[in-house]
């Protein structure tokens, strides 16, 4: 992989994180229903990629990068309780 490709991919990742930050109304459950990934998935992928590069970061640290704040703070400020409709759609998607 070239440095240019790495730089482009890094820029795209930063843009995705910024976009998700600008659209906090897009709840994780909605993302899971529509795209089968969410902010928490990104954090897990971040940890896995860091491990491949022998860089230590734990899940909470990765979530802080993705959420741009500690997860508990984001959850308290922005996460809404899942509706019955969201729960049903999530359940149907995972069958």
What is the model's pLDDT at position 20?
97
- DSSP 8-state secondary structure symbol assigned to residue 95: -
What is the model's pLDDT at position 30?
96
pTM assigned to the model: 0.91
Give all domains of the chain, ordered by start, each with its CATH number: 3-93 (1.10.3340.10)
> Taking the CB of residue 17, how many other CB atoms lie within 10 A of it?
17
What is the model's pLDDT at position 13?
97
The parts of the chain modelled with pLDDT lower than 50 are none
What is the model's pLDDT at position 95?
78
**pLDDT of 3-25, one tens digit each?**
999 999 999 999 999 999 999 99
Burial code of 39-70, b = ≥16 C-beta within 10 A, e = fewer? Answer: bbebbbebbeebeeeeeeeeeeebbbebbeee
């Amino acid at each position: 992989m070239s440095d240019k490709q790495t730089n482009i991919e890094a820029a795209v990742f930063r843009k995705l994180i910024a976009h998700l930050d600008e659209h906090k109304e897009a709840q994780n459950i909605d993302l899971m229903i529509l795209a089968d990934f969410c902010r928490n998935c990104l954090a897990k992928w971040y940890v896995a990629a860091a491990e491949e590069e022998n860089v230590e970061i734990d899940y909470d640290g990765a979530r802080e990068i993705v959420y741009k704040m500690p997860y508990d703070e984001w959850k308290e400020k922005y996460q809404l309780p899942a509706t019955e409709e969201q729960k049903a759609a999530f359940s149907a998607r995972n069958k």
